[in-house]
Structure 1
């Protein structure tokens, strides 16, 4: 490679890091290693929930060495996201990148110490379609994996493109032993809910189910399986809506339900308290019931 081209490429990477660096703060919320946060709105910082081991005496340090007090607005352990309010933050706000694609160059950037930012270079290894998070009922609609090294303290930091725009938030708190990236559009939806109400709404029907293969006559290209209802909780949305043990759940609001992940994904917070069309097979006959989605406690 021509040395001038290599130098130009190197400078472009450094420029990308410099561009996002002023939007990253060091977060002091635990006894050991500090973490990172992303300034995405005036006086508001998005970070990883697992790095906040205390509720009080939180501080952030900015690129210009100011140390400011921070308060938790809301936090969601299921998605490992938390929102902090920092009065007088006054730093440039991060810019979201267009959707990541496998193979794109990416930089993992964090501010894990008062010494400044750190960065590592890699690629977007994978953009996954969905991820069940631990033992919780939460489903991450999309996720990003990268081979860029997330150094200690990078949780809450940014995976950025070659212009310094943010693909997503880095965290090591979702999957044990693995660094994941929460796409910025999804992180912003969670952050919006946390800012408004301090928590994330998640819907539920109140059933215990098991995946079963559908009879040939009920299968389609989009659906080979359904959920056999094994138990209906007393006084649950499912019971009030008329769902019965032995029903096979086929679809909710026209979206095929092949497994429990499909069901959790369709019962997102926007549907809590609203009626949805639930299509079931009862005794081999398909019928549609109306169920008002409950809120999972």
Structure 2
């Protein structure tokens, strides 16, 4: 591990920004460092051999919080990009604060979440902008301790290289978008028919997207109060009053006991569809329910509707709405395929990612 730290440290510099941080050399005279700490267009850069050079800001990317510096006279070699390896393998966070090289031990999370590698390494002052490396000293990501308090995250090396390339050529990173506002829906474990009544079915989380009966989430039909399905807008569920007391089909008070009412129209075909749907998504799978489609957006052009449930993008499922944003952010102009649940049936919808 000491050899890996020593190898990585040759390509990590100190950047004297608003507060001292690190920078990772990714090309000939090119350094990536956190964007949010650069308040000027020129910044001192201290090399591993102690020289102080001037770094010029080529561009900033707010999405990844990376900025690219061009440093004339910098002879420090760039780190070789490598693979993170298997989940659970050791990784090293290497930074160069003013006091010298420091390192922290982390674990490979297996895959990026929300566009970030969650390293599990202990952050230390000045680590942001440093290198996340594997046991061979190869670059796995560029570190950032300012995204989430107390956590040391990293922009994956492939994405960092893409950001550096775009900033060096264009000075900016085009942001891809679809124009879809979404909310997560967590599919519960399989339920028996006796555990489902008409109220729960027509007002439950499966109502709008999977079965197309005109409601989104528990409570009021869609269209009564904006894209969140309630009159009070985001932050208050459609079934709760101002003091958090539930009402509607999920309210405890006044709700009939199970089996105490006619299910009225809850025929066997719909029950079977519900059973298949719940069985398929048991085990924590998450879908993204479309709650708003921006006018004139790529999503509207592709035919997405409020109530569609997005299941996967290019074959990979979701765990959080931020994953959709992070996956399309760097793919402006590309055509992607979304797996959609609409009216109880799954289908693939192609959409070309827009730019803004």
TM-score band, normalised by the shorter chain? 0.7 to 0.9
CA 1:188–1:234: 2 relative to 1, 3 Å: same
Match in the other structure for 1:19: 7
- Matches of 1:152 and 1:190, distance apart in 2: 24
2:124 to 151, 157, 172: 151
Match of 1:85 among 56, 62, 70: 70
Q: Any unmatched runs of 5+ in structure 2?
A: 188-209, 211-273
Deviation at 1:163, TM superposition (A): 4.8
Distance 1:266 1:109 in 2: 27
Per-residue CA shift, 1:171-208, capped at 9, x if unaligned?
21121222223343332233223323333333322222
Instruction: Select 2:354's aligned residue among 272, 294, 297.
Output: 294
Structure 1: distance between partners of 2:135 and 2:287: 43
Q: Alpha carbons of 1:238 and 1:34: their partners in 2 closer, same or farther (altered >3 Å)?
A: same
Q: Which residue of 1 aligns with 2:84?
A: 99
Q: Secondary structure at the match of 2:153?
A: strand
Alpha-carbon RMSD across the aligned residues, in angstroms, is: 3.1
Matched with 2:17 is 29
Determine if contact 2:9/2:101 at 8 Å carries over to the other structure. no
In 2, Cα distance between equivalents of 1:26 and 1:189: 22
Q: Are 1:44 and 2:22 counterparts?
A: no
Local SS of the residue matching 1:37: strand
After TM superposition, the structure 1 = structure 2 runs for residues 218-257 of structure 1, keeping only pairs within 5 Å, are 218=277, 220=280, 224-256=285-317
Flag the 1:279–1:111 CA change in 2: closer, same or farther, 3 A: closer
Alpha carbons of structure 1 residues 251 and 165: separation in structure 2 relative to 1, 3 Å: closer
Contact 1:143 1:183 in 2 (8 A): no
> Over alpha carbons, which structure has the higher Rg?
2
CA distance in 2 between counterparts of 1:258 and 1:164 reads 31
- In structure 2, what is the equivalent of residue 135 of structure 1? none
> For residues 160 and 256 of structure 1, what CA distance do their matches in structure 2 show?
28
- Residues 248-257 or 57-66, more deviating: 248-257
- 1:27 Cα deviation after fit: 0.8
* Most deviating of 160-169 and 182-191: 160-169
**Residue matched to 2:269:** none
Taking the aligned partners of 2:70 and 2:354, their CA distance within structure 1 comes to 30
Question: How far off its partner does 1:232 sit?
Answer: 1.8
Q: Secondary structure at the match of 1:175?
A: coil
Secondary structure of the corresponding residue to residue 68 of structure 1? strand
**1:129 corresponds to which residue?**
111
Residues matched between the structures, number: 268
1:45–1:83 Cα contact (<8 Å) kept: yes
User: Are residue 120 (structure 1) and residue 96 (structure 2) matched?
Assistant: no
* Structure 2 counterpart of 1:65: 50
- Stretches of structure 1 that go unaligned for 5 or more consecutive residues are 1-11, 133-138
Once the two structures are superposed, residues 151-174 of structure 1 have per-residue CA deviations (whole angstroms, 9 ceiling, x without a partner) of: 322221223445543343222112
Deviates more, 1:211-220 or 1:39-48: 211-220
Residues 207-261 of structure 1: CA deviation (Å, up to 9, x unaligned): 2233344544456369955333222222222222222223333444444456524
Give 1:154-165 correspondences, 5 Å limit.
154-165=127-138
More strand by share: 1
**Is this contact kept in 2: 1:51–1:155, CA < 8 A?**
no
Secondary structure of 2:152's counterpart equals strand
What is the rounded CA distance, in whole Å, between the counterparts of 1:274 and 1:102 in structure 2?
30
2:181 to 191, 208, 216: 208
